């Protein structure tokens, strides 16, 4: 006949019973702590994250949303779309400039130099537009050289960003055409300065000579016995440059109005007489 203490050692030794009860209680507390920790982690993952600042969507999350320490990084699903569209529109602007340089077909392709960058701004904001202008310049620098890439960025890349800013803010055509024409005129003088520096020749002097001959011929045809001075010649050059840029920027607005409306990114409405003229045609 066996002793009851040998059959159940835990009953024979009260200390053993105390250790077993302590281990069971500790295991229960550890399991409850682990479950509570996982619930907190899941709740933190499901909690929507707020942007780091109050910038517009698409401008502050190009490289992922800010995340708390210890939690996995979350990536905005629109980031790949922003990168792909920005790269595509930047390459489109570069390709149009490249084709127009080697196969010029008049002023037709020049109308599309700045529109892809402006469309990038309308879709994804200022950061994407600046990146698009920079990528276009870098791509043209590889394909055509740094000098020609600079001639694209100034003024057409900057003009695209400027049009995007003005069109998104709903500026009237008179405002955007005026500012765009001034930028285009500055771009012309910058181009003359850069090309003169690279060639080692003064293109402004050449333009002054040609304009003087033109004014003398015009005065002779009109019957004026008048010798144009240097100030008048240079004023005539500046006037022709500004007028040329005004016409160019106005036609760019017309093309953007007709094109971007069909792409789902409309720009401010033109003046009433332009709408009547286009509807009449």
Report pLDDT for 58.
44
Query: Which pLDDT band holds residue 42 (cuts at 50, 70, 90)?
Result: low
With bands split at pLDDT 50, 70 and 90, how would you rate the model's confidence at 69? Answer: very low
Tens digits of per-residue pLDDT, 203-245?
Answer: 888 888 888 888 888 877 777 777 778 888 889 899 999 999 9
Q: In whole angstroms, what is the distance from residue 188 CA to residue 116 CA?
A: 21
What are phi and psi for residue 186, nearest 5 degrees? -60, -35
Cα distances (angstroms) measured from residue 268 to each of 109, 166, 171, 174, 271: 23, 9, 7, 11, 9
Q: Which residues contact 50 (CB under 8 A, 6 or more apart)?
A: none
Report the pLDDT value the prediction gives residue 67, as an integer from 0 to 100.
44
Res 158 pLDDT > 90: yes
Mean pLDDT over residues 152-180, rounded?
95
Q: In the predicted model, what is the mean pLDDT of residues 50-55?
A: 45
46-55, 148-157, 193-202: the lowest-pLDDT one: 46-55
In terms of residues, how long is the chain?
281
Cβ atoms of 58 and 78 within 8 Å: the answer is yes
Q: How many CA atoms lie within 13 A of 25 on its CB side?
A: 6
- The string of pLDDT tens digits covering residues 78-100 is 678 889 999 999 999 999 999 99
The CATH class of 79-280 is: mainly alpha
- What's the pLDDT at 68? 47
Q: Across residues 20-38, what is the average pLDDT?
A: 52
Residue with the bigger pLDDT between 101 and 220: it is 101
pLDDT at 145 over 70: yes
53 pLDDT above the threshold of 60: no
> Does 54 or 48 have the greater pLDDT score?
48
- Res 117 pLDDT > 70: yes
Residue 146, pLDDT above cutoff 50: yes
Kindly list the distances between the CA atom of residue 257 and the CA atoms of 94, 141, 173, 275, in Å, as whole numbers in the listed order: 21, 30, 11, 11
pLDDT at residue 76 in the model: 62
What is residue 279's predicted lDDT score, i.e. its pLDDT? 76
CA–CA gap between residue 86 and residue 238 (Å, rounded): 35
Residue boundaries of the structural domains of the chain: 79-280
pLDDT at 70: 45
Count the Cβ atoms, other than its own, within 10 Å of residue 249: 22
pLDDT at 75 (0 to 100): 52
pLDDT value for 223: 76
């Amino acid at each position: 006949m066996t002793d009851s203490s040998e059959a159940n050692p835990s009953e024979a030794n009260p200390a053993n019973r105390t250790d077993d009860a302590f281990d069971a209680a500790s295991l229960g507390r550890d399991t409850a702590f682990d479950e509570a920790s996982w619930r907190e982690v899941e709740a933190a993952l499901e909690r929507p994250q707020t942007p780091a600042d109050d910038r517009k969507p698409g401008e502050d999350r190009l490289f992922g949303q800010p995340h708390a320490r210890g939690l996995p990084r979350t990536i905005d699903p629109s980031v790949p779309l922003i990168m792909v569209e920005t790269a595509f529109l930047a390459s489109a602007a570069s390709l149009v400039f490249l084709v127009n340089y080697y196969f010029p077909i008049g002023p037709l392709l020049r109308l599309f130099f700045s529109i892809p960058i402006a469309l990038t701004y309308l879709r994804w904001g200022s950061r994407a537009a600046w990146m698009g202008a920079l990528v276009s310049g870098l791509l043209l620098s590889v394909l055509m050289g740094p000098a020609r890439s600079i001639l694209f960025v100034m003024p057409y890349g900057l003009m695209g960003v400027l049009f995007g800013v003005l069109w998104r803010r709903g500026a009237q055509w008179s405002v955007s055409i005026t500012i765009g024409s001034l930028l285009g005129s500055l771009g012309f003088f910058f181009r003359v300065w850069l090309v003169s520096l690279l060639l080692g020749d003064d293109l402004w002097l050449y333009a002054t000579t040609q304009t003087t001959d033109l004014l003398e011929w015009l005065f002779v045809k009109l019957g004026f016995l008048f010798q144009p001075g240097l100030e008048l010649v240079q004023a005539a050059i500046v006037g022709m440059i500004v007028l040329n840029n005004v016409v160019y920027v106005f036609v760019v607005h017309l093309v953007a109005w007709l094109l971007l409306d069909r792409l789902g990114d409309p720009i401010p409405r033109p003046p009433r007489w332009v709408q009547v003229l286009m509807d009449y045609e």
